[in-house]
Amino acid sequence: MHFSEKNPRLENETPMDHAARLLCGDLAKGKLTAKTVRNVLVYTDKKIEREMKEVSRFVVHKHIKEIQAPLLARIAELDLLLTASVPRTVAEEERQKAAEAMRNRIAVKEMEFGAIPNDWSEEIFSVPLPAPKFTRTKPADWDKKALAKFN
């Protein structure tokens, strides 16, 4: 039977206090030997090392949670923004469609009765669509000076 089973550690007793209590008990009984001292010290050393690992692990996990909480909140905030945002290409396509629809609606209103085109409606139809605002299109024939404007 192991000595720690004969004399279990009391509640809230540190490993060093437990070792001192065991050694004093054996000394009082006159059974203290070098082997007992060595066993108690090795056992105490292992217990202290194990408890320190648990305490340090607890402290590290607590510190990780403190750091992780605001980061998780920021990630949730960014996910919410991402679900509410639209890619640039989609936004540009919708912008071009809206401009074309607006131009066509005005041109149709300017047509004569019976949807017959006139000079005004033809001029409105000839108005070019606005240049892309959210995406840049760079034709191959642009020179470096023109490209430098966009960079």
Spatial separation of the C-alpha atoms in residues 59 and 67, rounded to whole Å: 12
Enumerate residues 6+ apart whose C-beta is below 8 A from 32. Answer: 23, 26
Spatial separation of the C-alpha atoms in residues 93 and 135, rounded to whole Å: 10
Spatial separation of the C-alpha atoms in residues 123 and 110, rounded to whole Å: 10
Spatial separation of the C-alpha atoms in residues 48 and 41, rounded to whole Å: 10
- pLDDT tens figures, 23-67: 787 777 877 778 878 877 888 888 888 888 888 888 888 888 888
Enumerate residues 6+ apart whose C-beta is below 8 A from 115. Answer: 108
- pLDDT tens figures, 82-134: 777 778 888 888 888 999 899 888 888 887 777 777 888 888 888 888 887 76
Spatial separation of the C-alpha atoms in residues 144 and 66, rounded to whole Å: 51
Sorted by where each begins, the domain ranges of the chain are 3-83, 87-137
